[in-house]
Amino acid sequence: MSQKYDVAAFIWPSYTGDEPRSRIFWPEGYGEWQTVKAFKGYIPEEKWPRKPLWGYVNEADPYVMEMEIEAAASHGVNVFIYDWYWFDGRPFLEQCLDNGYLKARNNDKVKFYIMWANHTATSLWDKRTAELGVPIWDGAVDRKNFDIIVRKTIDMYFSHPSYYKIDGKPVYMIYDLANLIRGLGGMEETKKALDYFREETVKAGYPGLELQLTLRSEGTMNETGFDAAFEGNLVDAVHTLGFDSVTHYQFAHFANLDRDYLEILEEAKQEWAKMEKMFNIPYYPHISLGWDTSPRYNKLTGAVVRNNTPENIKKGMEMAKAYIDSHKNLKAPLVTVNSWNEWTETSYLEPDDLYGYGYLEAIRDTFKR
């Protein structure tokens, strides 16, 4: 059954031990669940430890994903955005998508698309060394690797009947524009690479490529210096490279999160308005569920969102719905949500022993009435 709105939740594909390289971060062999399971909390009001109602499941198991797809679809989450990685000339953590979702027999109920998480990987993922922030793998790629990624993406993912499209064009999101430009060798080479991606997508039988970018703070939009030969700022770069739309990945990228959730929502609304004015392409509204990265660290670290109850999350969802309803220039009724399962950032829809299915019910009651 179709619905009027496309509610797209990011998936962090680390809750599986199927990737051998993940053992350097989580040696017990079941992915970052190791960190979640061990965390006892640093302040009582955060109500840790939290436990997943579904257990510490392997999300690269198609039978597990069939269960999760049913839960998502019945609550109005009808798109998954998979974080997708490429380090040292090969994919990383792709099993969650390739073996879990793609082999699930009911993946026609929830569509998917890819966000290439092309940031540099650090020791943040390993609780033993998280505070050091040591680089592990560079997320920037050269043109040779870029072309391999393009071919794999078109052949393996765009061709799947459940791949999410806007006006028939496969949607592809890029996380870190500066890293993309650095790896490809400047603005001119990046434009050539993205044009090649578009051309190959058209050759494969699609009307085009819907290229999407995740944004940071308003301040970063005015940054320059990622290419000495290019005088414009990041906004200019987005337009020059021909991106088709923008959204956010996390409220943490533009707001102070060490406060009440309703205050953060007000700032988010203001941020959406700013992005509208800065870009001549559509901005799709984004809602984050919370923020507390303490599970990854050995002490209380950074901001903690307060009062992000299901009732208040519902207000955020209603805000996104109102934005979509009032913006007729949007090519799709799309809202991005952080996230399906970011347990170690405490921003997840999956049910737990604190709120049960409360967050999912907030989406259902907003978008499936």
pLDDT value at position 1?
A: 45
Positions in the chain short of pLDDT 50: 1
Residue 1 lies in a domain: no
pLDDT value at position 45?
A: 76
Token reading at 277: 């004015």
pLDDT value at position 46?
A: 79
Q: What is the identity of the amino acid at 52?
A: P
- DSSP code for 48: P
Angle at which helices 177-184 and 187-203 cross, to 10°: 100
Cis-peptide into 123, omega within 30 deg: no
Spatial separation of the C-alpha atoms in residues 7 and 74, rounded to whole Å: 12
Domain count, the chain: 1
Spatial separation of the C-alpha atoms in residues 298 and 144, rounded to whole Å: 39
Q: Give the global pTM.
A: 0.97
pLDDT value at position 163?
A: 98
Tell me how crowded residue 30 is: count the other CB atoms within 10 A of its CB: 17
Instruction: Give the CATH number for residue 51.
Output: 3.20.20.80
Spatial separation of the C-alpha atoms in residues 142 and 150, rounded to whole Å: 12
Domain ranges, residue 83: 6-367
Q: Distance of CA 212 to CAs 66, 111, 126, 249, 344, Å?
A: 28, 17, 30, 11, 26
Residue 296 lies in a domain: yes
Residue 226 lies in a domain: yes
User: Tens of pLDDT along 274-317?
Assistant: 999 999 999 999 999 999 999 999 988 789 999 999 999 999 99
Contact 181, 243 (CB under 8 A): no
Q: What is the identity of the amino acid at 321?
A: K
Q: Nearest CA to 343 among 29, 10, 36?
A: 36
Bridge-based pairing of strands 245-248 and 347-348 is unpaired
Token reading at 233: 């700022």
Spatial separation of the C-alpha atoms in residues 170 and 193, rounded to whole Å: 17
- DSSP code for 157: I
pLDDT value at position 9?
A: 99
Contact 41, 35 (CB under 8 A): no
- DSSP code for 57: -
Q: Distance of CA 142 to CAs 85, 93, 360, Å?
A: 14, 20, 40
User: Tens of pLDDT along 326-343?
Assistant: 999 899 999 999 999 999
pLDDT value at position 218?
A: 66
Residue 70 lies in a domain: yes
Spatial separation of the C-alpha atoms in residues 104 and 69, rounded to whole Å: 9
Residue 325 lies in a domain: yes
pLDDT value at position 47?
A: 85
Token reading at 290: 């919370």
Spatial separation of the C-alpha atoms in residues 158 and 147, rounded to whole Å: 15
